[in-house]
């Protein structure tokens, strides 16, 4: 079993098309309740949701939504976005089940802050159950706006400026120094009815790169561009007569066509509007540089260079944060940063240079070593949100994580290897393996679900990163070609194409993340018994818990179901509301 562990760790008739689409959508609609969230209000109008969304609420109900509610940011006029997030928490958590959320402009930032647990407190407290089924952003300034809103000075406007500390925190909060939207399926609609001062398509307030969901969807598929304006106040900055991105007067409105299909679970939205990368040839970047022992540097100069052309990065809102939102998209950028008489250069994690996405934004939290760039379960990135379970095996990635490579010599892993040590919420973590770029460790047992600081200390300095603990985050270990790390439970032989499993046979699967255990007959049983699906069939679980004698390693003994086809079949383990990665099991 230790061998198994060590292997894995280290042009068109458009009228007809839209007509047919409308018919199809009416026949296939979601009944989930919907919550509308409006954006920044210079004054607080009395028209309710219709001031921002016009007839959207009525149309949603006519088309099947069980209810449509409204969260008004004017509930607390001028309050900081994180305070609004606290109010939104009460609203969403009062729903008995899940709700679909449609947010315009700043409202999208309020929703993101809600998912992360921002309140008036300095500590993040993410809701254990976000209760959002699907999420739609309409013109949300995820990376910020220029000073176009400066005529309305307020805490909210300050927080929405390019490079603001609030937006930086919002975009770098989770355990890969990003924002995964808690694993919630999301769609962004970006307006492109104008061109800003940098030559970037925008809606008069938010440019397409800032409205992008690139930070949580690296494929770019879920950001769609429409020739719409942000709102009435931005008309003078947009093409004459351009519709407003959230003001849905009827079902022909492109934002409605997009969100209707998306909420219904059809793929029609992918053909309604182009991806952001298809309408913009530039992207943006926002970055900081942290010191070896904490804090952020103030820069005298920062530039990106590619093919001999340099692009400056400015400090629009914070001397520690630099950004530019009109950089030609492409790969191979080198970065040079000058600070306190020193020069820091960076050419990407692989050394081949930075990449700027078309119609997207890069958020880059650089740091002098030691530098943690991400923490994931050792079997790989889980389905859903980025989180790990207590007493599970995790892999920590970064730079300068340890002065040398070292591996635990016994199964009783120490709390320090080489010059590296870890704590989670103040509790020491056992280490199996350390190197400059990776650490394999065990999350301390008994730690409750929630958000904690994972802190690394080395002889060079220290670093910390947020780590979200969930009750269970199952993951399955795999060998070459994604073959399941599995044994014949009776003989101990490895299951492989040369030694496939058969109907009725007892098989042991190995993974991690089953969560808390209880003791019985000398074994550690998982408190929540997982379910195991093999080739689409349910397998009988005979035992699930810690592999005897191994910390962090889970073993699941199952009886192979009858009637399975021959071949390499998919295996997925589920526990609570989380499912594992998919591995392949050879079956005869």
Residue 47: which pLDDT band, with cuts at 50, 70 and 90? confident
Residue 304: which pLDDT band, with cuts at 50, 70 and 90? very high
Domain boundaries 475-587, CATH class: mainly beta
> What's the whole-number mean pLDDT along residues 152-174?
92
Q: Mean pLDDT lowest for which of 291-300, 437-446, 578-587?
A: 291-300
pLDDT above 70 for 366: yes
> What's the whole-number mean pLDDT along residues 34-61?
95
Rg over alpha carbons for the chain, rounded to the nearest Å, is: 25
For residues 63 and 97, the answer to whether their CB atoms sit within 8 Å is no
Could you tell me the residue ranges of all domains in the chain? Answer: 64-278, 282-367, 371-470, 475-587
For residues 248 and 55, the answer to whether their CB atoms sit within 8 Å is yes
Tell me, what's the pLDDT at 5? 30
Distance CA 447, CA 471 (A): 9
- Which residues does residue 311 pair with via DSSP β-bridges, in sequence order? 304
- How does pLDDT run across 338-363, given as a tens digit for each residue? 988 899 999 988 889 999 999 999 99
CATH 2.60.40.10 holds for 371-470: yes
| 370 preceded by a cis bond (ω within 30 of 0) | yes
Residue 335: which pLDDT band, with cuts at 50, 70 and 90? very high
- What does 82-150 look like in DSSP terms, one character per residue? HHHHHHHHHHHHTSSS-EEEEEETHHHHHHHHHHHT--SSSS----SS--EEEEEEES--TT-B-GGGT
Same fold, 64-278 and 282-367: no
Q: What tokens does 317 get?
A: 């809102």
- How does pLDDT run across 83-109, given as a tens digit for each residue? 999 999 999 999 999 999 999 999 999
pLDDT above 80 for 155: yes
CATH superfamily of 282-367: Immunoglobulins (2.60.40.10)
Report the topology of domain 64-278: Rossmann fold (3.40.50)
Tell me, what's the pLDDT at 150? 65
- How does pLDDT run across 465-524, given as a tens digit for each residue? 999 999 999 999 999 999 999 999 999 999 999 999 999 999 999 999 999 999 999 999
- How does pLDDT run across 184-200, given as a tens digit for each residue? 999 999 999 999 988 99
> What's the whole-number mean pLDDT along residues 32-60?
95
Q: 12-16, 239-243, 549-553 — which one is most confidently predicted on average?
A: 239-243
> What's the whole-number mean pLDDT along residues 24-29?
58
Residue 146: which pLDDT band, with cuts at 50, 70 and 90? confident
């Amino acid at each position: 079993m230790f061998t198994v562990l060590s292997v894995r760790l280290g042009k068109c008739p458009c009228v007809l098309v839209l007509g047919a689409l409308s018919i199809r959508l009416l026949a296939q609609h979601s009944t989930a309740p919907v919550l509308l969230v409006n954006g920044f209000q210079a004054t607080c109008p009395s028209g309710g949701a219709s001031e921002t969304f016009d007839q959207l609420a009525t149309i949603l109900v006519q088309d099947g939504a069980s209810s449509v509610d409204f969260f008004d940011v004017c509930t607390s006029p001028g309050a900081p976005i994180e305070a609004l997030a606290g109010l939104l928490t009460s609203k969403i958590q009062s729903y008995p089940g899940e709700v679909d959320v449609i947010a315009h402009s700043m409202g999208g930032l309020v929703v993101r802050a809600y998912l992360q647990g921002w309140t008036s407190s300095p500590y993040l407290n993410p809701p254990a159950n976000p209760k959002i089924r699907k999420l739609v952003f309409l013109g949300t300034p995820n990376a910020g706006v220029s000073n176009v809103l400066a005529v309305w000075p307020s805490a909210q406007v300050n927080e929405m400026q390019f490079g603001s500390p609030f937006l930086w925190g919002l975009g770098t909060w989770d355990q890969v120094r990003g924002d995964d939207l808690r694993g919630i399926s999301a769609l962004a609609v970006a307006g492109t009815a104008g061109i800003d001062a940098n030559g970037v398509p925008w809606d008069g307030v938010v440019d397409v790169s800032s409205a992008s969901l690139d930070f949580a969807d690296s494929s770019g598929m879920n950001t769609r561009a429409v020739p719409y304006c942000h709102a009435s106040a931005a008309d003078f900055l947009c093409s004459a007569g351009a519709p407003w991105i959230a003001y849905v007067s009827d079902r022909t409105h492109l934002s409605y066509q997009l969100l209707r299909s998306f909420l219904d679970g059809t793929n029609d939205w992918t053909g309604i509007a182009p991806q952001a990368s298809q309408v913009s040839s530039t992207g943006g970047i926002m970055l900081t540089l942290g010191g070896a022992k904490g804090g952020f540097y103030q820069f005298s100069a920062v530039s990106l260079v590619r093919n001999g052309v340099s692009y400056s990065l400015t400090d629009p809102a914070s001397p520690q944060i630099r950004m530019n939102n009109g950089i030609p998209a492409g790969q191979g950028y080198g970065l040079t940063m000058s600070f306190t008489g020193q020069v820091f250069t960076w050419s990407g994690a692989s050394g081949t240079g930075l990449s700027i996405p078309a119609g997207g934004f890069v958020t880059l939290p650089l740091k002098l070593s030691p530098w943690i760039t991400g923490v994931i379960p050792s079997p790989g990135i889980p389905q859903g949100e980025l989180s790990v379970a207590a007493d599970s095996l995790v892999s920590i990635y970064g730079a300068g994580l340890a002065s040398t490579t070292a591996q635990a010599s016994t199964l009783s892993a120490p709390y320090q290897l080489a010059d590296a040590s870890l704590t989670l919420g103040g509790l020491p973590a056992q280490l199996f393996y350390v190197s400059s770029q990776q650490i394999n460790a065990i999350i301390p047992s008994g730690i409750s679900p929630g958000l904690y600081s994972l802190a690394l200390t080395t002889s060079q300095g220290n670093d910390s990163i947020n780590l979200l603990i969930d009750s269970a985050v199952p993951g399955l270990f795999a060998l070459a070609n994604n073959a399941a790390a599995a044994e014949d439970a009776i003989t101990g032989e490895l299951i492989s194409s040369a030694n496939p499993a058969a109907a009725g046979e007892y098989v042991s699967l190995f993974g991690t993340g089953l969560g808390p255990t209880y003791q019985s007959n000398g074994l550690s049983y998982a408190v929540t018994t997982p379910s195991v699906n093999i080739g689409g069939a349910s397998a009988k679980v005979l035992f699930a818990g810690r592999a005897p004698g191994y910390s962090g390693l889970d073993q699941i003994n199952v009886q192979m179901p009858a009637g399975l086809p021959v071949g390499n079949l998919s295996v997925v383990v589920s526990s609570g509301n989380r499912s594992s990665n998919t591995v392949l099991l050879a079956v005869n």
